């Protein structure tokens, strides 16, 4: 099928957008096969957007799918961010310049293995909150967010000479399905604000019918697929049986999407968690695992970064604001910080005075990890939020808590300049400081924290993400654009290392992600 003339730059007549004709798509009245790949702009440094989109185009794709994380765009109530790495309009416009159409997934819930599935944690301040329902507290927040978001993307739709050809309504709602009216509400909220392109839902094989909306295209995530799945799909729209592989899909002219084409990185604290037999926080990398293979490409090895200075957590506490006092522990989301929006990520230090001995138990109230420290009659528990659940009905319970709350930490802002030389191995949690010195052409690199236990690494103020010596991830990706010629400040908030405090980076070209096939939207 010749589709070279069906690109954003070549199509002038925009009267007819993406349509379903029988069992195929048409665009502008011409047969159109969607070959899409997912790239999350927020998981890729902005300076690499063009490179990743060019790779997508070079692999024969004609469409990029991307999701919009509400929690990153509105981290505090009524404070919106659409600049820098969150400049969604710039990403969509760049895709158009590279000859790619766009399928946009604005949520409000997007899943994507993000903290709370991309929902902002301040929603949980409401003790009666029912996420992903028509509960008034939730829809009020969604309406305000959509007012800001949709006004930015509506002008980039197909009919306005833009590249957006379709918009997804929510994400896999069939597996959640707490409110039969909810999907209709989201659809109406999108249309009311000017979304005119094709709408679609997306569900896996088991929950296809519960996630279906009348007069909205149902797309199928390729998991839990059985013959009965296609029987269900045929009950709501024309479909064909598919049980084999991508080649069969292409032969039958199925449109499809690869999730993910390029996974990127869970920078900072954006990664969520899964709950199978037990709680499983997401690793920092969002790449697809690949077998180890010999790599013959030339590499340059940076010298190890020696941690020269440290500050004990206990030395930082006196420089902080007055602690929040409470007779009972308070969950992270309800702290009176961040202009009343609570704390989304990071660590909290709970402190109380004890007068007698006994057995300390959290009664499962510590989510997700707590470390206890006793100093005379003072008991301190440092609680770490390792990521809220990304999916499932238990997301409504994901309030992070551990009697005084003595420390709030979700970035390195406000750390006092009272560094001490590392003359011995510090005891207890601490902040460590070192410097990476490089030449005039910074390149992508990886930080390997050999001998370190658990913590977070910052480079020039940018949070690279979490590390943990239990694996499976052994290195943290450090993008070249976040480095500067000369001296680069490397901070780590961590439990003490087990051995000499060093880290090492391997300088080599970023390896392109192997594609993982999933979620083919079929007509």
Residues with catalytic roles:
172, 228
Q: For residue 9, what are the contacts with CB-CB under 8 A and spacing of at least 6?
A: 96, 97, 99
Six token digits for residue 280:
């499983």
Local structure of residue 258 (DSSP, 8 states): E
- Residue 436 CA to residue 431 CA, distance in Å, equals 16
State the SS3 of 483-518.
Answer: CCCEEEEEEEEECCCCCCCEEEEEECCCCCCCCCEC
Q: Kindly give, in sequence order, each residue whose CB lies less than 8 Å from that of residue 251, ignoring residues fewer than 6 positions away.
A: none
Residue identified by tokens 């239990």 is 470
CA distance 8 to 455: 45
The C-alpha atoms of residue 495 and residue 466 are separated, in whole angstroms, by 12
Work out the number of other CB atoms within 10 angstroms of the CB of residue 455. 22
CA-closest candidate to residue 464, choices 430, 438, 489: 489
**Residue 115 DSSP label:** G
Contact 100, 52 (CB under 8 A): no
Distance, CA of 133 to CA of 156 (rounded, Å):
28
DSSP run (H or E) holding 478: strand 475-478
Cβ 208 vs Cβ 147: under 8 Å: no
Residues in Cβ contact with 507 at an 8 Å cutoff, skipping those fewer than 6 apart: 299, 300, 301, 302, 443, 444, 445
Q: What is d(CA 296, CA 289) in angstroms, rounded to the nearest whole number?
A: 19
């Amino acid at each position: 099928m010749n589709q070279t003339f069906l690109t954003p730059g070549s199509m002038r007549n925009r009267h007819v957008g993406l349509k379903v004709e029988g069992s195929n798509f048409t665009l502008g009245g011409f047969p159109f096969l969607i070959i899409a790949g997912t790239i999350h702009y927020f998981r890729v440094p902005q300076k690499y957007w063009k490179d990743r989109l060019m790779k997508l185009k070079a692999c024969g794709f004609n469409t990029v799918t991307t999701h919009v994380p509400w929690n990153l765009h509105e981290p505090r109530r009524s404070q919106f961010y659409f600049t820098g790495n969150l400049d969604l309009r710039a990403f969509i416009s760049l895709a158009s310049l590279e000859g790619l159409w766009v399928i946009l997934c604005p949520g409000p819930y997007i899943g994507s293995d993000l903290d709370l599935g991309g929902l902002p944690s301040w929603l949980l301040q409401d003790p009666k909150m029912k996420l992903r329902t028509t509960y008034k507290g939730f829809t009020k927040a969604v309406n305000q967010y959509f007012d800001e978001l949709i006004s930015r993307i509506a002008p980039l739709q197909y009919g306005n000479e833009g590249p957006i050809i379709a918009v997804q309504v929510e994400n896999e709602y069939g597996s959640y399905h707490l409110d039969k009216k909810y999907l209709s509400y989201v659809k109406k909220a999108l249309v009311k604000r000017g979304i005119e392109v094709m709408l679609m839902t997306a569900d896996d094989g088991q929950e296809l019918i519960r996630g279906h909306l009348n007069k909205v295209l149902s797309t199928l995530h390729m998991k839990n697929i059985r013959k009965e799945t296609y029987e269900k799909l045929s009950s709501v729209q024309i479909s064909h049986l598919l049980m084999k592989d991508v080649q069969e899909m292409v032969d039958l002219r199925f449109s499809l999407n690869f999730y993910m084409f390029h996974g990127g990185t869970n920078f900072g604290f954006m990664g969520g968690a899964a709950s199978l037999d037990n709680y499983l926080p997401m690793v920092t990398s969002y790449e697809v695992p690949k077998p180890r293979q010999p790599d013959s490409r030339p590499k340059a090895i940076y010298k190890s970064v020696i941690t020269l200075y440290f500050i004990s957590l206990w030395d930082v506490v006196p420089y902080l604001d007055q602690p929040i006092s409470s007779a009972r522990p308070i969950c992270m989301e309800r702290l009176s910080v961040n202009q009343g929006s609570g704390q989304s990520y990071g660590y909290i230090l709970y402190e109380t005075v004890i007068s007698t001995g006994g057995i300390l138990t959290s009664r499962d109230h510590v989510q997700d990890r707590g470390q206890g420290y006793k100093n005379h009659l003072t008991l301190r528990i440092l609680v770490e939020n390792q990521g809220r659940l990304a999916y499932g009905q238990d997301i409504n319970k994901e309030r992070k808590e551990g009697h005084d709350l003595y420390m709030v930490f979700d970035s390195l802002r406000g750390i006092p300049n009272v560094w001490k030389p590392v003359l011995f191995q510090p005891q207890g949690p601490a902040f460590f400081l070192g410097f990476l010195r490089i030449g005039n052409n910074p390149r992508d690199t990886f930080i390997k924290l050999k001998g370190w236990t658990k913590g977070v690494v910052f480079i020039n103020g940018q949070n690279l993400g979490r590390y943990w010596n239990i694996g499976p991830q052994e290195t943290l990706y450090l993008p070249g654009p976040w480095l500067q010629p000369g001296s680069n400040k490397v901070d780590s908030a961590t439990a003490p290392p087990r051995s000499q405090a060093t880290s090492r980076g391997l300088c080599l070209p970023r390896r392109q992600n192997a594609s993982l096939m999933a979620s083919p939207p079929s007509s």
